[in-house]
Amino acid sequence: MKIKELLDTLDKIAPFFLQESYDNSGIQFADLDAPITKILLSLDITQEILDEAIENKANL
């Protein structure tokens, strides 16, 4: 699956236009045609989260 396909699916489930003004939903920067190999989900980014993403080879 590519990043754009995931975003399209998420938008059908929880439309991005319903976000609050302070929400950063969607992708902040990425190649939308890049394939997804593994996803790590986090509400906030910390050094521990970055380390875990690298350790687990998550590319999203």
pLDDT in tens, 9-60: 999 999 999 989 888 776 777 889 999 999 999 988 899 999 999 999 999 9
39, 52, 55: which is closest to 1 by C-alpha? Answer: 39
pTM of the predicted protein model = 0.73
For residue 5, the model assigns a pLDDT of: 96
- Gap between the Cα atoms of 52 and 25, Å rounded: 22
Structure tokens at 39: 């996803």
* Ramachandran class of 26: left when φ > 0, alpha when ψ lies in -120 to 50, beta otherwise: left
Q: How many CB atoms lie within 10 A of CB 21?
A: 4
56, 6, 53, 58: which is closest to 32 by C-alpha? Answer: 6
Q: What count of residues does the chain have?
A: 60
